Structure 1
Amino acid sequence: MLTSVGHRSTGTSESVRVTWSPDRGARQRARRRDRRDRGLRGPLAPRAVPVARSRAARFDEQVLMAWDRLALNNPELQYIEVAVSDVPEAEHPALAVFDPADAGFAARITVYRWAIELRADSSRHLTDLLQDVLTEQAGVFLGVSAHDLDSGYPRV
């Protein structure tokens, strides 16, 4: 890369060849990371570490754990698919929707992440709310009350 540098005292300019070096790139990255002593920029943990999981990935994991707890005592729930969607497509907001089995499609419970996360005050409340929502929808599938499926219902 060729740049032109001017001298203040003489007013003349001369060409200076600037070459890239690994050290120079590292200095620029370091400067970019801690501008004006505001702290680090960018990810603080590698992606493989559980801390770096996205909110959606953590929510998916919580849904699976809640479903596993429910299906442990109710083997007939193994025929239901559980899906997670960000936002309900219908005009009326719902926390979850049960879709009965149709020609060639298994029964499905769709849980809406944003609707549930907005109602939960804490991670503990989110876990309890997820368990209640899945219990209600499984009760619809089985045609039984949510109290019959889970003795701890309602948690919220």
Structure 2
Amino acid sequence: MHTRTFRNRHGRGLRGPLLPTGVPRHASRRKIFDRAVLEAYSPLYGIYQKELKNLDIAVDTIPRMRLSADLAVLPDEITADGPVPLGRVIPPAIDTKGNPTRARIVIFRMPIEQRITSSVERHELLTHVLTSLVANYLNIDPRDIDPGFQDL
């Protein structure tokens, strides 16, 4: 049996994904981003392992928070590019059932992906956002973690 390859309707390439979704090498954009977050976070965790052991890292697609429209400056626990939140620190609290929750850093995938054009830029922006959020969580200046740190 001969397998026929189809080209797209403009004749410029194969139809469909390069790798089928069932093969191990296939990675969705979400998985690639999650891996990039962990790669950017691991040096910080290596330095502050003892202080960060009770901190969770999460990725959300978009910011899901209610901010006042007249808010000129975002709170310190939110790292943003202008008015757009890129990540935030959620302190430990008590959930609706009365159970304690752990502190968490949430990275917002879509706002970050819209600001990058390459994997190098993604790594630099994630490193910047995570450095800012870890510094906020540890209540230290981001320049104590990275002397070359500059605000966005």
TM-score, scaled relative to structure 2:
0.73
- The one of 18, 36, 44 aligned to 2:18: 44
Whichever structure has more helix as a proportion of its residues is: 1
Contact kept in structure 2, 1:87 and 1:114, CA below 8 Å: yes
- The one of 92, 95, 100 aligned to 2:86: 95
In the TM superposition, residue 53 of structure 1 has moved relative to its aligned partner by: 1.2
Which runs of 5 or more structure 1 residues have no equivalent in the other structure?
1-22
CA RMSD after TM alignment: 2.3
CA distance in 1, matches of 2:116, 2:7: 35
Q: Does 1:54 align with 2:37?
A: no
Query: Per-residue displacement from partner, 1:40-99 (whole Å, max 9, x unpaired)?
Result: 2122224312xx311111110010011111111112112110100011113553000110
Q: Which has the larger radius of gyration?
A: 1
Aligned twin of 1:85: 60
CA distance in 1, matches of 2:141, 2:44: 14
Q: Which amino acid aligns with 2:131?
A: T
| Greater RCO (Cα-Cα under 8 Å, separation 6 or more) | 2
Q: Does 1:140 align with 2:113?
A: no
Counterparts in 2 of 1:35 and 1:88: CA distance versus 1, 3 Å: closer
Contact kept in structure 2, 1:94 and 1:112, CA below 8 Å: yes
Number of positions where the alignment pairs a residue of Structure 1 with one of Structure 2: 127
Q: Which amino acid aligns with 1:67?
A: Y
Contact kept in structure 2, 1:129 and 1:155, CA below 8 Å: no
Q: Which amino acid aligns with 2:91?
A: P
Aligned twin of 2:149: 153
Q: Secondary structure at the match of 1:83?
A: strand
Which runs of 5 or more structure 2 residues have no equivalent in the other structure?
68-83, 95-99
In the TM superposition, residue 122 of structure 1 has moved relative to its aligned partner by: 2.3
Contact kept in structure 2, 1:128 and 1:155, CA below 8 Å: no
**Structure 1 runs, 4 residues or longer, greater than 4 Å off:** none
